[in-house]
Each structure stands twice: as structure tokens, then as C-alpha cells.
Amino acid sequence: MMNITSDSFSNELQQFFMDFDHKVSFKKGDFLFQEGSTSTHLFFITSGAVQVGKVTPEGRELTLQLASSGDLVGEVMLFCGSTPHMLQAKAIEPCTAISIQKRVLENELTQYPALSMEYMKWMGLQIKRMQTKFRDLILNGKKGALYSTLIRMSNSFGVMKPNGILLNVTLTNQEIANLCGTSREVVNRMLAELRKNEVISMADGKIIIHKLSFLKEEIDCEECPVELCRIEINKKSHR
């Protein structure tokens, strides 16, 4: 499952999604879909926030994205029949979306080759992003999950300061833990160690990275292009 963000596609493709007229609303805590259910629709978010992720066998949440207005969530692989959802999507605040039947989307895209090509190019980019994220989570353990998350946050929300890179987004340690697929206690301990070693510091609830090179060296960073090494969260809910 992948998710589309408003800066990933043209105004024409965004308007193409907006032209579908089946609008739906969800209350906080409602599921747009759950893991294992049959995938028949995509959801183009128009307001609110949606947590997209997976529950691990140990019962921990792994958050892959906090989607907001302009994001498309669902099993985006087209022309391959109905498939089960690999992830779940839950509204973390009241939200509205445009529900798009996959078979209808397939029919529409076949009539607009340029938009179809753009959609396919975007889908390839999302697959690469997901592959790199799971690579970091699997190959380097809990440390790699946290360090790669901090690197991705620096690419997405980093602001250069005289003393380092300010991550201009406010997340709780539990939210960071969910992005890493681990426990809050583990994240607390690792962040404390990074602060002790002056790799990071905190300012007004936000992280400043002083030694980005240390994080990259510890996980043998492959210096992926920035468009792949990013993290998607709803910034408006975390300012």
C-alpha cells in the first residue's frame, strides 16, 4: 500500500481525483479500511488526518504515514483485480474524503494516457520509498529504525541553523516510536543516549540534529535521493 501527497503530482492529476463525486465522512477512531479487508476503493483525503500503518505481531503500531488533505490512501496497484489491504487506515480526527472505486479509476485512466503515465511514474516512486523504509527497519534493527527516521525527518522538515538542523515539527516520543515500529521506552532510551553524546538536542519540544553524519555512518546510509528518503506526516497537526 502506498500513499500520494499533494506535492507528488500535477494540478491536473489532483483535479482528476477531485472530480469524483462520492464524498464520505469519518469520525475520529473510524477505520477507512482494515488490514485483510478486500480493496475496492481508494480514498482521496480532503480534510482531517488519517493514520496509515500496521499492527505488529507484538501488538505495537507501525505508522507509515499520517495522511492529510491532498493524500490518496489505499491499495494503489491498478489493473490487478481486488486485493486484500496490507495496512489499515484510521481517522485520528474527523475527516472527509472522496471515495474512488478502483475499477472506475482504471476505466477513467485508460481514457487519459498522459494522466495514466503520470500515475504510473508516481506509483513507481512510492514503491521505491516503501522499499527503502522497510530496508532501514529490517536491516539495522531498532537503532536503524530510529536513526533512519531522524534522517528522513531532516530531509522533510529540516531547517538549517548555526548549531545544526532543526526538525521543524513537534512529535511525542510515542509518535516517533510508532514511526519506528518499536516501544516508547526504547525510543526514550536511544534519544537520551544521542543527547548525552551531543548528536542531538531539544529546543522548545523540537529536535536539533548536530551530527547528521554520525547517524548516517551508524546505519551505513546509502545516500538515497531526497525524494526517496522522506517521511510523510500531517505537519498541521504537529506544529
232 has a pLDDT exceeding 70: no
53 has a pLDDT exceeding 90: no
**pLDDT, tens digit, 9 for 90 and up, residues 16-32:** 898 998 999 999 999 99
**pLDDT, tens digit, 9 for 90 and up, residues 157-203:** 899 999 999 998 888 898 898 888 888 999 999 999 999 999 999 99
Residues 4/71, Cβ–Cβ less than 8 Å? yes
Sheet holding 164-167, edge to edge: 158-161, 164-167, 206-209, 200-203
Reported confidence tier of residue 4, pLDDT bands at 50, 70, 90: very low
Reported confidence tier of residue 2, pLDDT bands at 50, 70, 90: very low
Percent of the chain past pLDDT 70, that is, above it, reads: 93
pTM of the model: 0.74
Identify the pLDDT of residue 104: 92
205 has a pLDDT exceeding 80: yes
Reported confidence tier of residue 226, pLDDT bands at 50, 70, 90: confident
Give the C-alpha separation, 74 to 70, whole Å: 13
> Which among 6, 223, 13, 228 has a CA at the least distance from the CA of 124?
228
